[in-house]
Amino acid sequence: MTSPHILTSVREKVQIIEISRIEKKNALTNEMYQALRNAIETADSDPAVNVILLRGANGVFTAGNDIGDFNNRPKDAPSPGQQFMHAMHRTEKPIIAQVEGLAIGIGTTMLLHCDLVYVAKETRLRMPFVNLGVCPEAGSSLLLPMRAGHRGASELLLLADFFTAEEAVLHGIANRALDRDEIDDFVWARAVELAAKDPTAIRESKRLLKAHYADACTKQINEESLVFSRLLETEASRNARANTLPQKN
Residue-wise pLDDT for 125-169, tens only, equals: 999 999 999 999 999 999 999 999 999 999 999 999 999 999 999
* CA separation for the pair 48, 52 (Å, rounded): 11
* CA separation for the pair 111, 174 (Å, rounded): 8
pLDDT of the residue at 74 = 66
Got the DSSP string for 190-249? HHHHHHTS-HHHHHHHHHHHHTTTHHHHHHHHHHHHHHHHHHHTSHHHHHHHHHHSPPP-
Closest CA to 17 of 89, 91, 86, 98: 98
Q: Which domains does the chain have, with CATH numbers?
A: 6-181+199-244 (3.90.226.10)
* Span 196-223, pLDDT tens digits: 999 999 999 999 999 999 999 999 999 9
**Are 49 and 15 within 8 A, CB to CB?**
yes
* Span 223-240, pLDDT tens digits: 999 999 999 999 999 999
* CA separation for the pair 69, 108 (Å, rounded): 18
* Span 77-127, pLDDT tens digits: 788 999 999 999 999 999 999 999 999 999 999 999 999 999 999 999 999
- What's the pTM value of the predicted model, to 2 decimals? 0.94
